[in-house]
């Protein structure tokens, strides 16, 4: 897969005359296609080492104006000049990226890049020279019009004295803006910030030479819909292949006046996890209706480039605030898409894991950061498309941030939610109650998988979690009081309840049990120990409060003892390893449940 190099767009020259052609314009985020087919004829001249980067293979890639990879080819050094042809290209504006590599078949290290933005309308030629240094530069496109909060890619191409495009080293190109209408990052991606006119300037550092493109930033026109679905899609990990699948599912039901999908999506090249992502970096898309299951054809609103940390709670905070500001609606769904580890970050190899693992950065959002992440925002439905997140410890952190919370006690399949069938309900009945529509997550997920997959889904009412926490506090206190009276028999009683209650992804750092099922086990006599009224009454109170909070749930035969909400029921010997983390949770601060776990047999 190809990395999205810094500003990447290759060069056009006639192979014989080596004159650059067709490098203008492209501006804005218009569609890549204008209704015809063109071709790109690429040539590279393998020159002597004259001070510039050298190599023996290249990867030539074409990106559409929506940021999608159209095609790529590898060119190996077999003679003084090698070529590659790209035919059947829809007419439009493309970012052409050429990466130079020090091993055959692009099997080594990237040594340099060259980039240009081309308008392809019919046949276009493009030539690079390996090993030479630049003497002049050009920024492409030479002008662009885009909207506030929209991004626009620019490229700076360096040329030698023969007007051939040459390869540049990382850090040899810097960017800046004038006019106060946009910002620009180190990859040449400009972001409109204020309406007006200005310029984007690219500087080739070795020459101290600057070239500029003129820009016009137009106002953002806000529109209001019935539903906005904000999807925080962190695919910078081994779930990457499912990102394209799920976004294509969303596109099937996107683009109507009732339901609008806004996605922040990250991908990265991670050896052994994500070797061939469809792009590299973080992007914000406004999805549009499309039924092509093999390509993402939605509108690229912002290319945020590389270096965005999706495992940072502030990044989630910024996305939700941005989405609700620029895409307002009567009601909002927030989907957090990634791996999950229940309430805690785990131990050993799981040391950074909470939810939203960004393996590119080695980070994740911790449960106790979720309240900060959502800030002053409130959503109508928060859906965890992540493992093990439907726990009291987790949902209690966001009880005042979302009216309804949807998720799984289990570790669901990697493909996650069937977005097309779930959101068809929103599309066809957008005025239905939030609860009615939230039930679609439960029902459609059960229908999408067979009994070989462990499926649980439930809908929790956030406002009811305070009362449930209070009931759990009562149970914790009752268990603490009994622990010292008959230690031997009580220990067997507790251990038996732990063993028999439905468990979820048991490991050395996870002892998650279904909450309602656990209280039923705690009602039972084990050996010579019969639980007193203080425990059975507390169990009943927990079940009553849980029944009020769990508005709807469903599971399949692979998780028969599931009732919609899990809780940590670790023995003291395990809990001691992460008690300091648990103390950061609201459930620990508001109840005696952590004190109970600190002595649980």
Tens of pLDDT along 358-405? 999 999 999 999 999 999 999 999 999 999 999 999 999 999 999 999
Q: Would you say residue 297 lies in a domain? A: yes
Q: Would you say residue 195 lies in a domain? A: no
Q: Which of 461, 478, 493 is the last residue of a domain?
A: 461
Instruction: Provide the token pair at 489.
Output: 């028999």
Do 289 and 255 form a contact (C-beta atoms < 8 A)?
A: yes
Q: Assign 155 to helix, strand or coil.
A: strand
Specify whether 166 is located in the same domain as 57: yes
* CA atoms of 511 and 236, how far apart (whole Å): 27
Specify whether 414 is located in the same domain as 486: no
Q: Which of 461, 484, 515 is the last residue of a domain?
A: 461
Instruction: Provide the token pair at 403.
Output: 């009216």
Q: Would you say residue 335 lies in a domain? A: yes
Specify whether 283 is located in the same domain as 386: yes
Q: Which of 446, 461, 476 is the last residue of a domain?
A: 461
Q: Would you say residue 183 lies in a domain? A: no
Q: Would you say residue 511 lies in a domain? A: yes
Specify whether 451 is located in the same domain as 471: no
Report pLDDT for 32: 40
Q: Would you say residue 215 lies in a domain? A: no
Full domain range(s) for residue 497: 467-597
Specify whether 68 is located in the same domain as 136: yes
Specify whether 428 is located in the same domain as 481: no
Specify whether 566 is located in the same domain as 437: no
Cβ burial, residue 431 (10 Å; 0-12/13-18/19+): exposed
Over residues 150-190, the pLDDT tens digits come to 999 999 999 999 999 999 999 999 999 999 999 999 999 99
Alpha helices in 32-164 (DSSP H): none
Specify whether 47 is located in the same domain as 62: yes
Specify whether 275 is located in the same domain as 402: yes
The residues, any chain, with a CB within 8 Å of residue 400's CB and separated by 6 or more, are 378, 462, 463
Query: Does the N-terminal peptide bond of residue 141 adopt cis geometry, omega within 30 degrees of 0?
Result: yes
Specify whether 130 is located in the same domain as 240: no
Report pLDDT for 3: 33
Q: Would you say residue 5 lies in a domain? A: no
Specify whether 425 is located in the same domain as 505: no
What does pTM read for this prediction?
Answer: 0.90
Report pLDDT for 14: 32
Give how many domains the chain has, as a whole number: 3
Report pLDDT for 346: 55
Q: Would you say residue 349 lies in a domain? A: yes
Query: pLDDT means per 10 residues in the chain (601 residues)?
Result: 32 32 30 69 94 96 88 96 96 96 96 97 95 96 97 96 94 97 97 98 95 98 97 96 96 92 96 86 96 90 96 97 98 97 69 81 94 96 98 98 98 96 97 98 97 96 98 98 92 98 93 98 96 98 98 96 98 95 97 98 97
Specify whether 435 is located in the same domain as 475: no
Report pLDDT for 272: 82
* CA atoms of 163 and 19, how far apart (whole Å): 7
CATH code where residue 102 lies: 2.60.40
């Amino acid at each position: 897969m190809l990395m999205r190099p810094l500003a990447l767009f290759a060069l056009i020259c006639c192979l014989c005359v080596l004159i650059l052609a067709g490098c203008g314009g492209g501006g804005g985020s218009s569609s890549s296609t204008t209704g015809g087919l063109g071709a790109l004829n690429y040539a590279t001249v393998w020159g002597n080492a004259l001070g510039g980067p050298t190599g023996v293979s290249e990867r030539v890639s074409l990106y559409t104006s929506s940021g999608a990879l159209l095609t790529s080819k590898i060119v190996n050094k077999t003679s003084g000049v090698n070529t590659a042809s790209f035919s059947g290209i829809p007419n439009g504006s493309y970012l052409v990226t050429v990466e130079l590599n020090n091993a055959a078949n692009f099997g080594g290290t990237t040594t340099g890049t060259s980039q240009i933005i081309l308008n392809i309308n019919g046949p276009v030629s493009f030539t690079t020279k390996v090993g030479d240094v630049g003497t002049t530069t050009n920024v492409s496109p030479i002008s662009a019009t885009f909207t506030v909060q929209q991004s626009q890619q620019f490229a700076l191409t360096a040329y030698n004295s023969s007007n051939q495009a040459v390869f540049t080293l990382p850090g040899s190109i810097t960017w800046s803006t004038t006019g106060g209408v946009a910002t620009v990052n180190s990859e040449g991606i400009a972001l409109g910030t204020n309406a007006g006119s200005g310029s984007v300037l690219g500087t080739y550092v070795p020459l101290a030479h600057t070239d500029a493109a003129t820009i016009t930033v137009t106002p953002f026109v806000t529109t209001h819909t019935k539903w906005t679905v904000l999807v925080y899609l962190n695919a910078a990990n081994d779930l990457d292949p499912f990102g394209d699948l799920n976004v294509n599912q969303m596109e099937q039901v996107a683009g109507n006046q009732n339901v609008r999908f806004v996605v922040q999506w990250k991908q990265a090249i991670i050896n052994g996890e994500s070797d061939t992502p469809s792009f590299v970096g973080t992007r914000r898309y406004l999805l549009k209706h499309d039924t092509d299951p093999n390509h993402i054809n939605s509108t690229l609103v912002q290319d945020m480039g590389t270096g965005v940390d999706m495992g940072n709670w502030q990044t989630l905070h910024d996305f939700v605030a941005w989405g609700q500001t620029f895409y307002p609606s009567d009601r909002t769904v927030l989907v957090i898409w990634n791996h999950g580890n229940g309430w805690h970050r785990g131990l050993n190899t799981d040391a950074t894991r909470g939810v939203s693992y960004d393996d590119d950065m080695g980070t994740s959002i911790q449960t106790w950061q979720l309240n900060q992440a959502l800030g002053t925002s409130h959503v109508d439905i928060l859906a965890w498309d992540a493992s093990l997140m439907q726990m009291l410890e987790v949902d209690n952190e966001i009880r005042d941030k979302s009216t309804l919370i949807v998720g799984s006690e289990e570790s669901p399949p990697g493909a996650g939610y069937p977005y097309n069938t779930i959101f068809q309900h929103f599309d066809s009945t957008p005025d239905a109650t939030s609860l009615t529509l939230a039930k679609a997550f439960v029902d459609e997920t059960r229908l999408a998988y067979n009994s070989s997959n462990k499926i649980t889904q439930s809908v929790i009412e956030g406002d009811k979690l305070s009362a449930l926490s209070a009931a759990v506090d009562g149970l914790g206190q009752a268990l603490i009081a009994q622990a010292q009276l008959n230690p031997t028999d009580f220990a067997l009683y507790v251990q038996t309840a732990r063993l028999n209650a439905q468990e979820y992804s048991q490991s050395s750092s996870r002892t998650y049990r279904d909450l309602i099922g656990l209280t039923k086990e705690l009602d039972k006599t084990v050996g010579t120990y019969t639980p007193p009224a203080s425990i059975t009454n507390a169990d009943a109170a927990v079940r009553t409060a849980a029944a009020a909070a769990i508005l709807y749930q469903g599971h399949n035969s692979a998780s028969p003892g599931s009732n919609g909400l899990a809780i940590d029921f670790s023995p003291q010997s395990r809990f001691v390893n992460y008690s300091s983390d648990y103390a950061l949770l609201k459930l620990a601060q508001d109840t005696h449940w952590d004190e109970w776990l600190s002595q649980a047999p």
